[in-house]
Structure 1
Amino acid sequence: MTFATSAARIPVVTVVDPRLKTTSLCLGVGYGSRHDPPGCGGLAHMLEHLLMSAPVGTVGPLVQHLERLGGTANAETGLEQMLFYTQVAAEDAEEALDLLLRGVLTPEPDAATLDSERTAVLQELAAAEADPTDTVQDAFLAALFPDHPLGRPVGGTVPEIGRLDIDTVLGAHRSLFLPSPMVLTVIGPEIPRIPAEFAQAEYTAPAPRPEFPLGPVRAAEHAWPDEFSWVAVGGRSPSMSDDAGRQCYAVLANLMGADACSLLYRELRVSAGLAYAFQAWDRGYAESGAWRVLVGVESGNGAKAVDVVVRVLDELATDGPTDTDLDAARRRARMSLILDAETPLEHARLLAYRSLDRTSGWDMERELRLIADVTRDDIRAAAAHIRSGLVTVVRPEPR
């Protein structure tokens, strides 16, 4: 099998587990919405749709044929990465790998397929626009990273999607997608044959990409609608390359997450009774990260809920967590990582996501140690940093 691709050989990260009866495959690509050219927002997302739906040789659309094998298949586009993944019975792994690589690297789409997927993408955008849990996060990133590629919506806009034609999308595949860093992860009872002309024997770090300077956050005034709404409260965190620093913010997210042992759960839900649905998380990118708490609030409760979030942040910035709370948060952060690693498909996705744009392959044990090493002073500093550049965004906006 020959891959007519301008991309370099792709490093392969494998995990052999004889207990498994399935093989999970994930191709990670270091190309996301932030790399879309100006005026072409949503191009990466449209390319993802096209690659999964275009025919592979004579077997029909990639996703349909992978699922006809009895497995599952999907793809996702983020700000900086795309993941294409499938889980199939181990005996079908070689066929699935062949389909996945040919479909993603040497697609044969036509204008009719693009038009069909354009309709699907426009419906996806309409659904997102009607869902405040989506619009609030786009607005939060736009305020956190104004006038920066990280602040653009992943899906683009309706006019931008309407302007995309087959030549533009395939041109982006050739000039932007294929030259991007890539990694293939494989988890199963044995490793399927990977073409020698395609795979590298060992992990090789990708070349660094240019970064863009960050300006100040745009902490605009917000107004509360007379209906149930979602509010995102947070700030910038360390970049993806700062492994030790990022774990502090992961533990901080667990201190303020939806678990019953978290500080915010006790204050926001139990003591104040202001919110039932909320969560906290952190995500790293090239220049910076984004840490946030997302809270669903009834009309009249929004400002009070934000006050509680800010008060807990202030208390953590001043006094830090108790030993008991810190230990629980570290345990929760570690367990989240372990649970993903013990679910084969999630493990394959995690390996691909963590391996892209790194100077060496990802080491889960090292990350677990870094989480365990987070101290009270680390949490104090992280909470103070978030508090100093706090951004608050509410959706829907008042009518």
Structure 2
Amino acid sequence: MTRKALRTARPALPAGRAVPRPRGAAPGTAAVPAAGEIRTTVLPGGLRVVSQSVPTVRSVTFGIWARVGSRDETPVLNGATHYLEHLLFKGTRRRSALEISAAVDAVGGEMNAFTAKEFTCYYARVLDDDLPLAIDVVCDMLTGSLIRAEDVDAERGVVLEEIAMTEDDPGDCVHDLYARTMLGDSPLGRPVLGTVETVTALTRDQVARFYRRHYDPAHLVVAAAGRLDHDRVVELVHRAFAEAGALDSGSAARPHGPRTGRRAIRTAGKVDVVRRRTEQAHVVLGTPGVSRHDDRRWALSVLNAALGGGMSSRLFQEVREKRGLAYSVYSFTSGYADCGLFGIYAGCRPALAPDVLKICRQELDRIAGEGLPEEELRRAVGQLSGSTVLGLEDTGSLMHRLGKSEICWGDQLTVDEMLNRIAAVTVDEVRRVAAEVLSHRPSLAVIGPLSERQAARLDEAVS
């Protein structure tokens, strides 16, 4: 299973009503050659079905998103969401684990899942003719999982190996360390996979209760993109859930809306160093960002593209091209329902880490004080706009956008609407968000073979 995997709620829709979404292109803008309209239907029990037809392809990606992630876990249950993701592939009342995988393999399809901090997704990509099969298999997994004690015990070893595999990748581990540095021992600060201790201690009853609590129809969103007919998808999903006894036709339950709230991250200037025998020092330098509901996220995304989003970005040019100090260096944003993170990652030889951090800190301070000039802003807008469109040119990416948008915002933006929001970002907006976000004293997470002296120099570089 893969792990890696960025508004306000609209009123709940009447059950069974299909709602077309407008294209929304602003006057005078060139419309992007697009797939068909996005349509949404709400079934009894609050189960949402959202789809987008792409008649020019021969594939369909079908997914079911659950509004549950690692932030919904207590400390004792840390890792339960991801553990459950594995277990739903282990067998249902109708299919064994082998029959689940064989059904999709037999038609040349792909099936997988991933767990994030605020949602989980199960999906299959198949030829359009095989969409009924994909719907039947994935819906069966979500509604009919047995979660047998013997499967829980057998899969425990697999999950522990996945944790070990992640621990062997310091470039991945340092992001978990950074989340803990910024968010502490909170649900958002804990690792999605859990720890060896928590996964070892999880019981079948704990995981089964977690499944029953979070996988009812009101917590789920069905998303599909490709060569499909929306009404047919709704019909097949309704049938699959009804036959499994997962839909109550008389239920007046409404879909659970997007997460909301306001969480302040007050961490400033904290340095966490994990000494490990690696060839490189892996560092993440960052500050609190903005939540995914914050309108400043558009300006911050443009700023992020200019700072470390491509080969022409400041960090790539200053750290790699001009000085040859690192192979990999980039910036990133992470937006959650109630808070966000902004960070810079670099991997370099340990002796070079203080110099790399000094350059990164200088660029943060420069943008915080000056913002971006118009030419750099336009280049960042173009880079972000192009990557947004190119990233949506397959049915899997389209399904991902549909499902995540419905789970996280309860609404959909068309591609043209997204491009309009990016293009509307101004120099002043970037200057303001840079001053607000980057003016914080940054915190630092480091994994590598650092001496006491090198660690002290890193501390000096961010102070």
User: TM-score normalized by structure 1?
Assistant: 0.90
Change (3 A) 1:173 1:273: same
Task: Kindly indicate whether the alpha-carbon contact (under 8 Å) linking 1:43 and 1:164 is maintained by their aligned counterparts in 2.
Answer: yes
Aligned residue runs from structure 1 range 293-332, under 5 A = 293-332=344-383
Change (3 A) 1:13 1:398: same
Matched with 1:29 is 66
Aligned residue runs from structure 1 range 105-144, under 5 A = 105-144=143-182
Matched with 1:285 is 336
Q: Post-superposition shift, 1:68?
A: 3.0
Task: Kindly indicate whether the alpha-carbon contact (under 8 Å) linking 2:260 and 2:338 is maintained by their aligned counterparts in 1.
Answer: no
Matched with 2:50 is 13
Q: Distance in 1 between matches of 2:80 and 2:289?
A: 27
Q: Distance in 1 between matches of 2:165 and 2:113?
A: 18
Q: Post-superposition shift, 1:360?
A: 2.5
Matched with 1:334 is 385
Q: Post-superposition shift, 1:213?
A: 4.1
Per-residue CA deviation, residues 185-242 of structure 1 (Å, 9 max, x unaligned), is 1112223443446599xxx863354747445216323559684111111222111112
Matched with 1:3 is none
Q: Distance in 2 between matches of 1:353 and 1:208?
A: 10
Q: Post-superposition shift, 1:295?
A: 0.7
Q: Distance in 2 between matches of 1:375 and 1:233?
A: 26
Matched with 1:228 is 280
Task: Kindly indicate whether the alpha-carbon contact (under 8 Å) linking 1:148 and 1:214 is maintained by their aligned counterparts in 2.
Answer: no
Equivalent position SS for 2:296: helix
Moved more, 297-306 or 334-343: 334-343
Q: Distance in 1 between matches of 2:443 and 2:123?
A: 34
2:221 to 171, 183, 205: 183
Q: Which amino acid aligns with 2:270?
A: A
> Can you give the 5+ residue segments of structure 2 that lack an aligned partner in the other structure?
1-43, 248-253, 452-463
Matched with 1:254 is 305
Matched with 2:25 is none
Q: Which amino acid aligns with 2:440?
A: S
Change (3 A) 1:222 1:110: closer
Matched with 1:52 is 89
Q: Distance in 1 between matches of 2:97 and 2:164?
A: 28
Matched with 1:159 is 197
Q: Distance in 1 between matches of 2:402 and 2:262?
A: 26
Larger Rg: 2
1:90 aligns with 2:128: yes
User: TM-score normalized by structure 2?
Assistant: 0.78
Q: Distance in 2 between matches of 1:356 and 1:281?
A: 22
Moved more, 24-33 or 49-58: 49-58
1:70 aligns with 2:105: no
Task: Kindly indicate whether the alpha-carbon contact (under 8 Å) linking 1:143 and 1:219 is maintained by their aligned counterparts in 2.
Answer: no
Q: Distance in 2 between matches of 1:249 and 1:63?
A: 41
Q: Post-superposition shift, 1:55?
A: 4.1
Equivalent position SS for 2:134: helix
Change (3 A) 1:75 1:98: same
Per-residue CA deviation, residues 222-281 of structure 1 (Å, 9 max, x unaligned), is 559684111111222111112x31112211221122522112111111222211112222
Task: Kindly indicate whether the alpha-carbon contact (under 8 Å) linking 2:65 and 2:407 is maintained by their aligned counterparts in 1.
Answer: yes
Equivalent position SS for 1:98: helix
Per-residue CA deviation, residues 45-96 of structure 1 (Å, 9 max, x unaligned), is 0000111233461354434432332111110001101011110011110111
1:194 aligns with 2:236: yes
> Can you give the 5+ residue segments of structure 1 that lack an aligned partner in the other structure?
1-6
Q: Post-superposition shift, 1:381?
A: 2.5
Matched with 2:394 is 343
Per-residue CA deviation, residues 330-376 of structure 1 (Å, 9 max, x unaligned), is 11111222122211111111221122132433433322211111122
Change (3 A) 1:11 1:362: farther
Change (3 A) 1:63 1:285: farther
Equivalent position SS for 2:177: helix
Matched with 2:40 is none
Q: Distance in 1 between matches of 2:274 and 2:129?
A: 55
Matched with 1:219 is 269
1:374 to 416, 425, 449: 425
